[in-house]
Amino acid sequence: MSDPFDLIVIGSGPGGYVCAIRAAQLGMKVAVIDKRGAHGGTCLNVGCIPSKAMLHTSHLYHDASHSFENFGIEVSKPKLNLKKMMGHKQNVIDANVGGISFLFKKNKITDYFGAAEIIAQDKVKITDADGKVTEIAGKNIVIATGSDSVSLPGIEIDEKQIVSSTGALELEKVPEHMVVIGGGVIGLELGSVWSRLGAKVTVVEYLDRILPGMDLEVAKTFARTLKKQGMDIKTGKKVTGVEKAGNGLKVGLEPAKGGDASTIDADIVLVAVGRRPYTDNLGLETIGVKRDDRGRVEIDAQYRTNVSNIFAIGDVTVGPMLAHKAEDEGIAVAEILAGQAGHVNYDVIPGVVYTMPEVASVGKTEEELKEAGIEYTVGKFPFTANGRAKAMDMTDGMVKILADKKTDRVLGCHIIGATAGDLIHEAAVLMEFSGSAEDLARTCHAHPTLAEAVREAALAIGDGPIHM
Ligand code: NAI
């Protein structure tokens, strides 16, 4: 066995690869293991990155089919070449995945492809695709194995007709009717991709709202927008089963509160009802790493498990299953191991739904503030009153800022609109510095930009916006 590594990272998704790079930057000798055969985890290979490629190209197709005309651009009806669109998606994946390998080399990180099993507190066994076994030793181990999609009882995902997000990014033709089970982030993002490419899309959500956890007013506005775009959203309904019927599928539904059952015909069903922490065959039982009742690896405030040199970050632990949360935790662990004060501010983790318009959120929602009994003021500004949004014909949506009633400190920001996922960072940076709505309102914003709507929402908390 070679000399021990300072750090072995299991999983090279956004949590793992960022942790490895930061640790190497801080002078550690690092190894990374991934069983996928490509670095980047779910995010780069079958998640965030490919879905954004599809969201972008499907948006272009939709614009060319429906919106160009409004801008005086006359083109003949565009023809979809799905194979080529998928080719673009694959190029994007390859470029990003290749980038990680380059960064590993640059930072002198040793990478292994194979399934990792922790066989002792300081030893990891790697079994590659050909069955070849390598054992490596490490002073510290970080578990960054991510998560896997879940299904509902009795519904078996075959990734052809009944798909998870992975299969939904690989469909060979545009479905006639896609039924999406779950009105969360995955269901709405991928549902909107196929809807823009021409599929009829029906979203079935158990709760009486979509996007649970997001600001309710924003979620309601978003549901209206998606319906206007042609998506059928059935809330308060539970799926009882999916049966094969000839070449198609029959989806059984029931009102969540009980009542008459019904069925919908579909050719593709996307199951998007959440993800579970992935810790299969990692050897956690052997070395006694504790997990909670939801299968998440238990950690302390410094990401340490009950085994003192073993850490865990990202989807496999508590908290939102978001790539950027995992990345920040990866950096924090590397810094803690280097004796620094690595830390993540969980009050300022943005969340984005990459649809068109986008939905973005940071900090507390109105519902959370009410529940906590915190008095707050609300400032809102619609994109219909923003000059740039008008020029772009993207006036759907609004910015909403929530500030502490006494101190004016910004506690949350919720945006629905074009580029909301970028705009939200105005509020994120402000909140990181404990800024007030007035700080934001007094910051000069370039004109004409969509970001002016963020400033106007901050003005709305004080004396009022200029353009309303
Ligand atoms: P989710 O937890 O966001 O949404 C699942 C939805 O399914 C919920 O609204 C839930 O009420 C509903 N549901 C559960 N059981 C149901 C049933 N029997 N019938 C109908 N509806 C049912 O999970 P999702 O969308 O699968 O995403 C998984 C994770 O991946 C989330 O943590 C999400 O934040 C993350 N993710 C984040 C993205 C982003 O940040 N843009 C993109 C993709 C995933």
Residues 6+ apart with CB under 8 A from 162: 155, 156, 242, 249, 268, 269, 271
Short-list 316, 248, 268, 259, CA closest to 9: 316
Q: What is the mean pLDDT of residues 441-466?
A: 97
Alpha-carbon distance of 51 to 270, in angstroms, equals 14
* Beta pairing partners, 361: 351, 414
| pLDDT given for residue 1 in this prediction | 66
**What are the residue numbers of the active site?**
447
446 CA from centroid of ligand 1 (Å): 36
* Beta pairing partners, 304: 311
Nearest atom of ligand 1 to the alpha carbon of 207: 11
Reported as a pLDDT band with limits 50, 70 and 90, residue 3 is confident
Residue 156 amino acid letter: E
351 CA from centroid of ligand 1 (Å): 13
The boundaries of every CATH 3.50.50.60 domain in the chain are 5-149+276-337, 162-273
Ligand 1 within 6 A of CB of 272: yes
In terms of DSSP bridges, do strands 5-10 and 133-143 run parallel, antiparallel, or are they unpaired? parallel
Ligand 1 within 6 A of CB of 49: no
Task: Give helix 185-196 / helix 216-228 axis angle, nearest 10°.
Answer: 20
For residue range 69-119, what is the model confidence (pLDDT) as tens digits? 999 999 999 999 999 999 999 999 999 999 999 999 999 999 999 999 999
Ligand 1 within 6 A of CB of 428: no
Ligand 1 within 6 A of CB of 251: no
Neighbours of 236 (CB within 10 A): 14
User: Strand, helix or coil at 402?
Assistant: strand
For residue range 239-268, what is the model confidence (pLDDT) as tens digits? 999 999 999 999 999 999 999 999 999 999
Residue 232 amino acid letter: D
Reported as a pLDDT band with limits 50, 70 and 90, residue 2 is confident
For residue range 424-434, what is the model confidence (pLDDT) as tens digits? 999 999 999 99
* DSSP code per residue over 13-31: SHHHHHHHHHHHHTT--EE
Alpha-carbon distance of 210 to 214, in angstroms, equals 9
| pLDDT given for residue 158 in this prediction | 97
294 pLDDT exceeds 70?
Answer: yes
Ligand 1 within 6 A of CB of 416: no
Asked if CATH classification 3.50.50.60 holds for the domain at 162-273, the reply, yes or no, is yes
Which pTM does this prediction carry? 0.97
Q: DSSP assignment, residue 76?
A: P
Which parts of 279-365 are beta strand (E)? Answer: 310-312, 351-353, 358-363
For residue range 334-375, what is the model confidence (pLDDT) as tens digits? 999 999 999 999 999 999 999 999 999 999 999 999 999 999
∠ CA 84-231-246, nearest 5°, is 70
Q: Quick check: 361 and 218 in contact, CB under 8 A? A: yes
14 CA from centroid of ligand 1 (Å): 19
Q: What is the dihedral of CA 456, 461, 467, 468, to 10 degrees?
A: 140
Contacts 24+ apart (CB under 8 A), 424-428: 424/350, 424/352, 424/360, 424/361, 424/362, 425/350, 426/451, 426/454, 427/362, 427/363, 427/401, 427/454, 428/348, 428/350, 428/362
Sign for the CA dihedral angle at 65, 67, 69, 72 comes to negative
Helix (H) or strand (E) holding 248: strand 248-255
Nearest atom of ligand 1 to the alpha carbon of 47: 43
Nearest atom of ligand 1 to the alpha carbon of 185: 25
Q: Quick check: 134 and 119 in contact, CB under 8 A? A: no
The boundaries of every CATH 3.30.390.30 domain in the chain are 351-461
CATH superfamily for 5-149+276-337 is FAD/NAD(P)-binding domain (3.50.50.60)
CATH number for region 351-461 = 3.30.390.30
Nearest atom of ligand 1 to the alpha carbon of 272: 26
